[in-house]
Chains A and B, each alone.
Chain A
Amino acid sequence: MTDTFKVTVTDIQTVASSIKEFTLSPVEGQLIPFSAGSHIVVEMPTEEKTYKNAYSLLSQPDDPSHYKIAVRLQDNSRGGSVYMHTQVKVGDSLTISAPANRFAPLWQAKKHILIAGGIGITPFLSYLPEFERRGEDYELHYLYRGGQTGAYCNELSEQLGDRLFCYDSATSPRCNIENLMSQRAPGTHFYICGPEKLIEAVMTTAKQLGIAAGYIHFEEFAAPKPGNAFELELKSSGRLLNVSEEESMLEAIEKSGIEIPNLCRGGVCGQCVCRVSQGKIDHRDTFLTEQERSSGDVIMPCVSRAAGERLTLDI
């Protein structure tokens, strides 16, 4: 479990037609400063379940007076973004986690090329002040759909000048990833935050150009993908839980009132590992080793699921 904090929503701004920006201020004292690229997990209690979604912090990293996050209303939302857009009002209080970082800039880089797709602009907004402070060489390439997802364009353009490259899919030509990536000198690193398609396009182009994978960085926001519903047995108590198609095993366990240590909720950090005493596993995490996967007796319940109709956890 990570520490949680109560914050008050002190401002809500619509920054693009499908994106709202929330300012979160501490109920008492100050918030924790954070490193460039950090995110927090916001808890959204609804009647049927508590959603926990990770959002990048986009305020100034060294300003502990408030945090800012931006939330896009997702077409295929599992509920979190709908909640943020329709339920949360100025003055409401929310529970958030401490900041964590899986997408920090690499300070050994000679040049940073940031590639943002739509709402993927958010982690880079906390890079910029730190880049300026350290005098880093960088470019920001921002791909969005005019009106819908192009948040912060004007501010960025003012602040970055010719280091900003905007690609509005409604009005301007598409971003040519190959052009963007070729003619770069050794030491140039690429950071991508956006839809999977964009990440794949950059990876594919890097491969074609012969660029080493170590130059490409992206945030693995592996939101748990839905799967088949299954039955979950908790060995110690004998309780049976139903995990629906749309929820993760971790969410189902939490709904039943049991807390499991967890951090990333994306199969990366390893905190929520559980022992499996029966049933086949559909491993979807990036934490366990090959050996552990094939042993079949451990699982990351935040993303992985039963491969069959039933799974028994040793908890």
Chain B
Amino acid sequence: MNIAINKIQTFRDDFTYSNSPEAIARFPFPFTDDEYKYTVNMEPHQPKDGENSVYARFFDIDEHYLSEMKERSLVLAEMPKRCLVMPHMELACWDMIEKIMTSLAAQYPQHFSLTQDGDNWCWENKLLNIKDSFVFGDSSTLPKPPMEYIGRQIQGDFALLDQRDDDLFLDAGIVTCPADWSLMFDAGMSFSEWHGPVPMAPSQNIFERALKYLVAIPVGRPVRRLNWTLTVNARMDTASETYHKWGHERSEVNAENVAEKVHLRVELQVIDRMPRSNALMFSIRTYLISLADISTNPQWAQRMHRVIKTLPPALIEYKGFARYHQHVVDYLAQFDESAAGD
């Protein structure tokens, strides 16, 4: 696939972000049933759905690349602590650099290249006009600390989880487009601690089971899952940090603007064992699509109507769209024949 990278669009202020028909066609639509069910829905992170799908490569680079990298630099300029690395995670950061550079160079050779001569590496990112030579493992030879350096060149948020005492700890990350959480606050937490706010904890057992599964993930066997929520406007940075700036937008949805304003926000989460440090790399690649664009696919719109309608209230509250849930249901009803009279 030869991706045409868009000119820079915005995820704030005038929100010029838009999806091309190709981007809509490959959108990772997350609903597999006609009603809401809680599932952990993990699967091996293997290519599927053909050459154009978001699952075709280990990391997905798409038309929004330049826009998302610009957005990330705006966030980091305002709040440098959105990138946070505890000292014992340095080796894991180099694991992350190795994984990202080798994958991108192999899978997008038209945009990225990597030459390795022992520990002397040369990395070229043609999309951002970056070319740097450095010594692998020696952070002083990079223009920025390792996680920030590579994080500014790849779409999606990243966390590195340290594994010890059969538990996972959120000890490093670059998080500029999270769905309403704060890396600065959650840093250092154990698996169960950072999931603290998840409501209706679908029985503690599910978390214990998920943790045991994650700590056993072997090298070379990455897994993925999709998670989703709704976001008002095409706002990438819905961090807790900026909630005071975007919270009011949740009150501004009405019947006239719901189709354009409300976006389905899907996270493609990939969890991969890092060989050198034994850390887990947790990447969260976020995709945004307006309800109007979803409705170009009538099957999607119908299914989404049924899911959103049957969501438990506690989840609507947790995901933050109680104020405009009904507008979404009402709008999507027109695409669901069985919903006459909603």
Task: Give A residues with C-beta under 8 Å from B.
Answer: 2-3, 32-35, 38, 61-62, 97-101, 104, 106-108, 214, 263-264, 268-271, 287, 289, 291
B164 touches A263 (CB 8 A): no
Q: Complex: how many Å from CA A99 to CA B274?
A: 11
A100 and B276 contact, Cβ closer than 8 Å, known pairs A107-B88, A108-B88: no
- Contact code string B130-148 (vs A, CB < 8 Å = 1, else 0): 0000000100000000000
Within 8 Å by CB of B275, from A33, A107, A268, lies: A33
Interchain nearest-CB distance for B210 vs A (Å): 11
In the complex, are the beta carbons of B212 and A35 less than 8 A apart?
Answer: no
Check if B163 is an interface residue, CB within 8 A of chain A. Answer: yes
Q: Mark B200-228, 1 if CB is under 8 A from A, else 0.
A: 00000100100011001011110000000
Chain A neighbourhood of B9, CB < 8 A: none
Are A2 and B208 also in contact (CB < 8 A) when A32-B275, A104-B278 are? Answer: no
Q: A104-B163, A107-B88, A289-B208 are in contact. Are A269 and B220 (CB under 8 A)?
A: no
| Min distance, Cβ B92 to any Cβ of chain A, angstroms | 10
- CB neighbours (8 Å) of A32 from chain B are 219-220, 275
Which A residues are in CB contact (< 8 Å) with B212?
Answer: 270, 287
Q: Which residues of A contact B205 (CB under 8 A)?
A: 289, 291
Binding site for A on B (CB under 8 A): 88, 137, 163-165, 205, 208, 212-213, 216, 218-221, 275-278
> Is there contact, CB below 8 Å, between A271 and B219?
no
Q: Is the CB of A35 within 8 A of B277?
A: yes
Residues of B within 8 A of A268 (CB): 216
When distances are taken between beta carbons in the complex, the residues of chain B under 8 Å from A97 are: 218
Separation of A302 and B275 alpha carbons in the complex (Å): 25
Contact B275 A35 (CB under 8 A): yes
Which residues on B sit within 8 Å (CB–CB) of A62?
Answer: 137, 276
Closest B residue, CB atoms, query A35:
B278
A297 to chain B, nearest CB (A): 15
Which residue of chain A is the closest to B276 with respect to CB atoms?
A: A33
Residues of B within 8 A of A99 (CB): 219, 275
In contact, B164 and A34 (Cβ under 8 angstroms): no
| A101 nearest CB neighbor, chain B only | B278
- The distance in angstroms between the C-alpha atoms of A61 and B212, with both chains bound, is 25
Q: How far is the CB of A212 from chain B (nearest CB, A)?
A: 12
**Contact between chains at A104 and B276 (CB < 8 Å):** no
Q: A104 vs B162: C-alpha distance in the bound complex, in angstroms?
A: 11
A97–B218 Cα distance when bound, in Å, is 10
11 residue pairs of the A-B complex, CB under 8 angstroms, read: A2-B220, A2-B221, A3-B219, A32-B219, A32-B220, A35-B275, A35-B276, A104-B164, A108-B88, A263-B216, A270-B213
Q: Which residue of B lies closest to A107 (CB)?
A: B88
Partner of A3, one of B137, B164, B165, B221: B221
- For the complex, give the distance between the alpha carbons of A97 and B276 in Å: 16
Pick the contact of A106 from B164, B221, B275 — CB < 8 Å?
B164
B219 touches A98 (CB 8 A): yes
CA A38 – CA B14 in complex, angstroms?
51
Contacts of B137 in A (CB 8 A): 62
- The answer on a CB contact under 8 Å between B276 and A271 is no
Interface residue from B213, B221, B276 paired with A61 (Cβ < 8 Å):
B276
CA distance A62 to B119 in the complex (A): 11
Given contacts A35-B275, A35-B278, contact A100 B219 (CB under 8 A): yes
Pairwise interchain contact A214-B88, C-beta atoms closer than 8 A:
no
Least CB distance from A129 to B in Å reads: 12
Q: Give Cα distance in the complex from A8 to B208, angstroms.
A: 40
A contact residues around B88 at 8 Å (CB): 107-108
- The reply to whether B276 and A34 form a contact with Cβ atoms under 8 Å apart is yes
Neighbour of B220 across the interface among A3, A35, A264, CB < 8 A = A3
